Amino acid sequence: MTIEAATGESRITALCALSQQVRELMDATALTDVPEDELEAITADVAALTARLRAVARETPQPFEFAPDGTLRHLGNAVTGAANPHALPLVVTSDGESVRAELSFRPLHEGPPGSVHGGISAMILDHVLGQAVVVAGFAGMTASLSVNYRKPVPYGVPLVATGAFTRKEGRKTWVEGRIALTDGTVLVEATGLFVTPAAWLGE
């Protein structure tokens, strides 16, 4: 494959479609009950596909870049990246003051039996809070994230994650957020401190 063939929006669309198919493969793997000989055959097939993908590969995921419509995107992001099979992918929207994302976890995300792993919930809130920092007009790395688990988070259920700016002091920005049922019942709450590295400010 040439470098030219590895660029372009139609290729991005194809990469996102592959990523979605891989998510479905992961979901199916987590839930399958097919017999052992079938598992072995599928493992060989998947190994062959993995080798085909590695035939031409980078060392880092899809980068931050401007989409054709001028918006900034990060298709390789572990939470929001449509080209990253690890991502839900989460779609975060903003009204200019706070951020919001509708999401639904999957059995693949199980931690305690029947509910979502607490680290997965924290990862989602880390990202949502980070975007709340951006919407407030700032930027930073998570310095600390405090998570309060109020109720078990179910999978297969529509949920809403929200985040909003609370205060700023120098390079430090505090934000808060939550994951809730659609009726407003809070499942997980978080507060985060994001620090803008001095280097980002040219200091």
What are the angstrom distances between the C-alpha of 3 and each of 6, 7, 12, 16?
Answer: 5, 7, 14, 19
CB 168 within 8 A of CB 174: yes
User: Among 134, 110, 132, which Cα is nearest to 178's?
Assistant: 132
Does 144 interact with ligand DCC (rule: CB under 6 A)? yes
Q: How many residues lie near ligand DCC (CB under 6 A)?
A: 19
- Closer CB to ligand DCC, 89 or 130, in the complex: 130
Q: Which is nearer to ligand DCC, 135 or 180 (CB)?
A: 135
For 50, other C-beta atoms within 10 Å of its C-beta total 9
Work out how close the CB of 200 gets to ligand DCC at its nearest, in angstroms, rounded to a whole number.
9
Stretch that binds ligand DCC, among 12-20, 48-56, 122-130, 146-154 (CB under 6 A): 122-130
Q: Integer distance in angstroms from the first to the last C-alpha of the chain?
A: 43
User: Is residue 131 a contact point for ligand DCC (CB under 6 A)?
Assistant: yes
Interface segment toward ligand DCC; rule CB under 6 A; list 81-89, 147-155, 168-176, 183-191: 168-176
Nearer to ligand DCC, 53 or 143 (CB): 143
Kindly tell me which residue out of 106, 117, 168, 171 binds ligand DCC, with binding defined by CB under 6 A.
171
**CA separation for the pair 42, 92 (Å, rounded):** 35
55-84: contacts with ligand DCC (CB under 6 A): 72-74
Binding ligand DCC (rule: CB under 6 A), the pick from 126, 135, 136, 162 is 126
Cα separation, 124 vs 99, in Å, equals 12
Tokens of 160: 């809403």
The helix (run of H) or strand (run of E) holding residue 25 is helix 9-31
Among 30, 34, 141, 157, binds ligand DCC (CB under 6 A): 141
Tell me how far apart the alpha carbons of residues 123 and 73 are, in angstroms, rounded to a whole number. Answer: 19
Name which of 115 and 126 has its Cβ closer to ligand DCC. 126
**Assigned token pair, 199:** 């280097």
Q: In whole angstroms, how close is the CB of 195 to ligand DCC at the nearest point?
A: 4
**Do the strands 172-181 and 186-195 form a parallel or antiparallel pair, or are they unpaired?**
antiparallel
Binding site for ligand DCC (CB under 6 A): 72-74, 126-127, 130-131, 134, 141-144, 170-172, 193, 195, 197-198
